[in-house]
Amino acid sequence: MTRPTYRRILLKLSGEALMGATPFGIDPDTVASMAAEVKAAKDSGFELCLVIGGGNIFRGMAGAAKGMDRAQADYMGMLATVMNALAMQNALEQLGVPTRVQSAIQMDQVCEPVIRRRAERHLEKGRVVIFAAGVGAPYFTTDSGAALRAAEMKCDALFKGTSVDGVYNADPKKVTDAKRYDHVSFNKVLADDLKVMDASAVALCRDNNIPIVVFNIREPGNLARVLSGEGDATVVSNQED
């Protein structure tokens, strides 16, 4: 199956992708490397939005599992995503890439509020837009936030950068003969619980016909290659298998 090419994409990164080899927090060298990937993609003519998780700093579900109030823990996780967004903004702007951070939790001293039309204008002017703080409400993951922003911004696709080269029927790090898919339908992902993104995010992309492209962001230069239709990736779409 030939992968289509896209113009406007939303790139979803996990917070853990910013840790590098460290066990916690933000590794400046890793953030700079990720920023270089984004710059290369932008220089190729793509319009880019980003959503970055917060699991490298605080994960709401983990806090709730240890007895914290779930809503309180989720708000803490949202603040962690703002920190990651600001770190990525700094790294991109050091590379000469104009960037704006928009947060679903208003904090005017450090970033803009999420305003869809303003974000669209930023993209039209060649800026990268980083959406932070998820959907601004507890009980929703940053996966759901990424799917929501991709729909709002009329993105052609949602690219999910991971540590593996696509979607498998089992964890390839634990199961040596796990099967890799080049393409898989939204319905199969939901029915087989393939762990691409959480179910609400997958359903939102399905209902708005936004393909999810899963690829390895840790491989240097891979984002630009996958965006051009090359490189290894799995496309999740409404096309049935």
Per-residue pLDDT tens over the stretch 46-102? 999 999 999 999 987 788 888 899 999 999 999 999 999 999 999 999 999 999 999
CA distances (Å), 95 to each of 15, 35, 176, 181, 225, in order?
A: 21, 8, 39, 35, 20
**How far apart are alpha carbons 198 and 221 in whole angstroms?**
27
**3 domain-assigned:** no
Is the pTM value of this prediction over 0.85? yes
**52 domain-assigned:** yes
Please say if the pLDDT value at position 2 is more than 60. Answer: no
pLDDT at 104: 97
Please say if the pLDDT value at position 6 is more than 80. Answer: yes
**Segment 219-227 mean pLDDT:** 88
Strand locations in 133-182 (E):
157-162, 167-168, 180-181
**99 domain-assigned:** yes
pLDDT at 1: 47
pLDDT at 21: 87
**144 domain-assigned:** yes
CB under 8 A, 24+ apart: contacts of 185-188: 185/236, 185/237, 185/238, 185/239, 185/240, 185/241, 186/236, 186/237, 186/238, 187/240, 188/241
pLDDT digits (tens, 9 = 90+) for 117-155: 999 999 999 999 999 999 999 999 999 999 999 999 999
- The tokens for 83 are 């920190």
- DSSP conformational letter for 62: H
Q: Quote the domain boundaries for residue 35.
A: 8-237
- The tokens for 182 are 């080049």
- DSSP conformational letter for 16: G
pLDDT digits (tens, 9 = 90+) for 154-189: 999 999 999 889 999 988 888 889 999 999 999 999
Number of folded domains that form the chain: 1
**Segment 2-14 mean pLDDT:** 85
**22 domain-assigned:** yes
- Give which of 147, 160, 151, 134 is closest to 54, Cα–Cα: 134
CA distances (Å), 8 to each of 48, 70, 113, 155, in order?
A: 6, 34, 21, 5
**1 domain-assigned:** no
Beta-carbon count within 10 A of 58 CB:
19
pLDDT at 241: 66
**2 domain-assigned:** no
- In degrees and rounded to multiples of 5, residue 138 shows phi and psi of -70, 170
Please say if the pLDDT value at position 230 is more than 90. Answer: no
Q: Which residue has better confidence, 95 or 44?
A: 95
Q: List the CATH number of the domain containing 130.
A: 3.40.1160.10
Q: Do residues 224 and 40 touch, judged by C-beta distance below 8 A? A: yes
Name the burial class of residue 2, with classes exposed (0-12), middle (13-18) and buried (19+) by CB atoms within 10 angstroms of its CB. Answer: exposed
